[in-house]
Amino acid sequence: MNIVIEKIVYPGKALGRGTDGIATFVDGALPGETVEVTITKKKKSFQEGTLHNIIKPSDKRIHPRCPSFGKCGGCSFQHTDYEHQLKIKESYVKELIAPFCKNILPIISSPEIWGYRNKMEFSFFEREGTPAIGLHEKGSWNTYFDVPPCYLADPHILPLVTLLTTFAQHSGLPVYHPKSHQGFWRHVVFRTGKRTNEMLLNLVTASLPNISETFFIPLLSKLPPHITSIVWSINNHVSDVVQAEHMIVLKGKDHIEEQMQINNQWYRFIISPFSFFQTNTFGAEKLYETVYAFLQPVQQDILLDLYCGTGTIGISLAKYVHQCIGIEQVSDAIQNAEKNKTLNHIENITFYNSTVEQWIQHADIPAFTALILDPPRSGISSKVITLIARTHPPKIIYVSCNPATLARDLHILQQAGYRAQQAVAIDMFPQTFHVETVVQLQR
């Protein structure tokens, strides 16, 4: 059927209607276009389809830079220019949160729109009987396509993918098969310091008899010197998630360091193989400066930073408040946070390794005056809502990577007596549908 596209809605879906008037969602179309779609799923109030043909293209449509666009699940908007991408993201953030916040500021753009990712995770897969390295095809957990290219990755990464592919092919060892759970090669993860130019290479494999650190010696001699850390992570878990039962440092340290400039102050941060760090370093600087501007910290504040990760937000705010407390469930992240605290000579911040919910339930919670919320995509839990309703912090800053769950939580917080004073979307992920949003709430 033919449909006319009205708008793009979160998460990056084009919404259109045909002569039947039913809302139809499709990937790859732009507002104003008339497109032919094949309906793949029907529900009571909407249907989903796949794009078959563009009958009337938008004047905003451009040719995608990457040949894998449409097949890869990473990028959503390479078929339109960056300024239009910003308008699309700003539009669906406004649509979702406008009922709860009237003062929505213009979207903040990313300093880089290509090559901005400081972390890339690739999978080994078998192609024509030999190991290859690639990314998941869109909507699939077990089909892949080759890289390079990938124009979101730091450009220093892609030549190394080719080198590692050659080494794996010459090794004589098979790719790990997710169904039979046999094989060796599983994943490769790169992490880069955009300002320090340090790079960490994390090779993730299953364990095999007689394979030890010496197996990688020929590879180490071929890798360029800017790879300052190389680790080997052994993972025998059935799940395809990148993790490690055992980690061996093959070269350098078990981490790299990054530097960030936030509010004209320089900070140093440790990044280990499995800890969270914002994937867009220069975009993260804008994000943290926005958090500071919205919080308006004073020296008397006691700041509670929930879902604190490696402590970047709390550390960047610590010198402006009396005390800061960070809560994070990932132990690697907390270990990094403690090192980051020392690196930056911060003494008035304390970190706890716990789920937010367990900490709320068992901790002796101080009388805090400001709250930072930076939850996962699922948003905040009922126990966090209960904590807020019980303690009534005067100031809340909500940092969200999912505007849909943000809207849900803003509605709940509104019922708890809070009003959103202002909000702004920050584009940390050019070419994709993802966007960060920061909201200032006051009681």
Q: How confident is the model at residue 64 (pLDDT cuts 50, 70, 90)?
A: very high
* CB-based contacts of 390, cutoff 8 Å, min separation 6: none
CATH number of 94-112+280-442: 3.40.50.150
For residue 371, the model assigns a pLDDT of 97
Q: How confident is the model at residue 148 (pLDDT cuts 50, 70, 90)?
A: confident
The secondary element (H helix, E strand) that includes residue 221 is: none
What value does the mean pLDDT of the chain take?
95
Q: How confident is the model at residue 180 (pLDDT cuts 50, 70, 90)?
A: confident
For residue 321, the model assigns a pLDDT of 98
Q: At residue 166, does pLDDT exceed 90?
A: yes
Three-class DSSP category at 39: strand
Longest Cα–Cα distance in the chain:
66
Q: At residue 141, does pLDDT exceed 80?
A: no
Q: At residue 373, does pLDDT exceed 80?
A: yes
Q: Would the CATH topology of 2-61 be identical to that of 119-257? A: yes
256-265: pLDDT as tens digits: 999 999 999 9
Q: At residue 245, does pLDDT exceed 90?
A: no
301-343: pLDDT as tens digits: 999 999 999 999 999 999 999 999 999 999 989 999 999 999 9
Domain ranges for the chain, please list them.
Answer: 2-61, 94-112+280-442, 119-257
Q: What mean pLDDT comes out for the span 105-115?
A: 98
104 against 148, higher pLDDT = 104
Give the tokens for residue 29.
């179309």
Distance, CA of 323 to CA of 218 (rounded, Å): 50
Neighbours of 131 (CB within 10 A): 24
Q: What mean pLDDT comes out for the span 99-107?
A: 97
Give the tokens for residue 139.
């909507």
Q: How confident is the model at residue 215 (pLDDT cuts 50, 70, 90)?
A: very high
* CB-based contacts of 289, cutoff 8 Å, min separation 6: 262, 263
For residue 239, the model assigns a pLDDT of 82
Q: How confident is the model at residue 231 (pLDDT cuts 50, 70, 90)?
A: very high
- Of 22-31, 175-184, 201-210, give the lowest mean pLDDT range: 175-184
User: What percentage of the chain carries pLDDT values higher than 90?
Assistant: 89
Q: At residue 55, does pLDDT exceed 90?
A: yes
Q: Does domain 119-257 have CATH number 2.40.50.1070?
A: yes
Specify whether the CB–CB gap between 250 and 231 falls below 8 A. Answer: yes
For residue 139, the model assigns a pLDDT of 83
The secondary element (H helix, E strand) that includes residue 339 is: helix 331-343
For residue 320, the model assigns a pLDDT of 97
Q: At residue 275, does pLDDT exceed 90?
A: no
For residue 95, the model assigns a pLDDT of 97
Q: At residue 252, does pLDDT exceed 90?
A: yes
Q: What is the DSSP string of 246-294?
A: EEEEEES-S-EEEEEEETTEEEEEEE-TTS---SBHHHHHHHHHHHHHH
Residues marked as catalytic: 401
The model's pTM: 0.94
Give the tokens for residue 15.
């919404």
In CATH terms, the superfamily for domain 2-61 is Nucleic acid-binding proteins (2.40.50.140)
Q: What mean pLDDT comes out for the span 386-414?
A: 96
Q: What mean pLDDT comes out for the span 87-93?
A: 98
